[in-house]
């Protein structure tokens, strides 16, 4: 991948990223691929249709767009998918973006399913990544295989331990699913506490058509938290990662419990995030279809065209999402989570 320094993309923050609701955008999430080597039931249909490779942004284009966001004030970038580590040569992108750390970019992170983490963790650390989020909804082998349709939880846990040994801080992302893994939430938190990992619990989000009814699986985190309070000493923690989670310290240890509650505790007021898809579309909100085509803007108009498209996107950014879940409610948007990125 060709190398470009941030200064070649106008490193002066002369056009801050402020939306029409006066929220400053500091956080860019990038889906480097819509493909994944797992098929989690709440995320994907079993028979998915993925984008033709010819429609994807090149890794060089992803880097150019990311560096332009850094030049305009973004301080945190998270790489996601699909599963980011299935994209060939993604390590080159990680290394290049890591070169922006300390030059406008304050943090580079990744969300992964962990299946390839053992292989990639050392290079991620060398590139400047210091923490990763690993999606794992169960530690029970049969449950994990069921929810992912074919995954091996031992492989994921092995990747987590290898990443920790390489020097990465670990946060486990666990989607709370009624009647499926709610009995594992407290044990998962205890395991994270004992291993020195953080845990974020996430309410299922109505994104994309899947093969099951999300209403049957929706588990409000308000009740989950009340149960956890009876089992652990939870103290509110002011820790912030730039994302939507609210945090609590667990039993006076270094472990934090995060809650991401898009349905029971709306977090839109302070939204500082936008999302770039692997196809080059900039989505302004998970719960809306508003988007602008940054790939076309960059290819047709260079950096000036890119800036114009970003500005148009900021103006269109909605005040809040429209997530609803219940009997008869379809998905909030047609696209799957794997398209927009976690």
What sign for the dihedral angle of Cα 76, 133, 336, 295? positive
Q: Is 41 labelled a binding residue? A: no
Q: Is 247 labelled a binding residue? A: no
Q: Is 29 labelled a binding residue? A: yes
DSSP helix/strand/coil, 263 = coil
Taking only the tens place, the pLDDT of each residue in 89-138 is 999 999 999 999 999 999 999 999 999 999 999 999 999 999 999 999 99
> Tell me, what DSSP letter sits at residue 205?
-
Q: Is 317 labelled a binding residue? A: no
Q: Is 72 labelled a binding residue? A: no
For the chain, which residues score pLDDT lower than 70? 1-14, 205-215, 242, 262-270, 287, 320-342
Task: Compute the CA torsion angle 322, 326, 329, 331 (nearest 10 deg).
Answer: 60
Q: Is 42 labelled a binding residue? A: yes
Q: Is 205 labelled a binding residue? A: yes
Q: Tell me the C-alpha distance between 59 and 185, whole Å.
A: 37
pLDDT of residue 5: 41
pLDDT of residue 212: 55
Q: Is 111 labelled a binding residue? A: yes
pLDDT of residue 10: 42
pTM of the model: 0.86
pLDDT of residue 269: 66
Q: Tell me the C-alpha distance between 189 and 151, whole Å.
A: 21
Give the domains, in start order, of the chain with CATH numbers. Answer: 6-340 (3.20.20.70)
CA angle, residues 33, 149, 221, in degrees to nearest 5: 80
Q: Is 285 labelled a binding residue? A: yes
Q: Is 273 labelled a binding residue? A: yes
């Amino acid at each position: 991948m060709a190398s470009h320094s941030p200064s070649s993309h106008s490193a002066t923050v002369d056009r801050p990223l402020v939306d029409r609701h006066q929220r400053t955008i500091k956080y860019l999430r990038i889906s480097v691929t819509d493909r994944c080597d797992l098929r989690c039931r709440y995320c994907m249909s079993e028979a998915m249709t993925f984008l033709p490779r010819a429609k994807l942004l090149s890794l060089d284009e992803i880097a150019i767009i990311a560096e332009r966001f850094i030049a305009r004030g973004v301080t945190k970038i998270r790489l996601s998918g699909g599963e980011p580590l299935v994209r060939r040569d993604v390590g080159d992108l990680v290394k290049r973006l890591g070169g922006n750390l300390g030059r406008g970019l304050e943090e580079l992170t990744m969300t992964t399913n962990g299946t390839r983490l053992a292989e990639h963790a050392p290079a991620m650390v060398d590139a400047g990544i210091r923490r990763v989020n690993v999606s794992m909804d169960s530690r029970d082998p049969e449950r994990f295989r069921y929810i992912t349709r074919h995954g091996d939880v031992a492989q994921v846990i092995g990747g987590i331990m290898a990443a920790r040994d390489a020097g990465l801080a670990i946060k486990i992302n666990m989607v709370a699913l009624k009647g499926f893994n709610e009995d594992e939430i407290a044990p998962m938190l205890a395991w994270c506490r004992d291993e020195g990992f953080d845990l974020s619990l996430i309410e299922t989000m109505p994104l994309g058509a899947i093969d099951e009814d999300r209403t049957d699986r929706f588990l409000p985190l308000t009740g989950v938290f009340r149960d956890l309070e009876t089992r652990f000493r939870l103290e509110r923690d002011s820790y912030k990662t730039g994302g939507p989670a609210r945090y609590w310290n667990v039993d006076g240890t270094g472990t934090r419990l995060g809650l991401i509650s898009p349905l029971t505790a709306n977090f839109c007021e302070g939204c500082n995030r936008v999302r770039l898809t692997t196809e080059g579309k900039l989505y302004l909100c998970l719960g809306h279809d508003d988007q602008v085509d940054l790939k076309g803007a960059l290819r047709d108009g260079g950096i000036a065209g890119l800036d114009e498209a970003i500005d148009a996107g900021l103006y269109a950014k909605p005040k809040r999402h429209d997530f609803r879940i219940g009997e008869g409610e379809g998905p909030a948007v047609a696209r799957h989570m794997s398209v927009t990125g976690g």
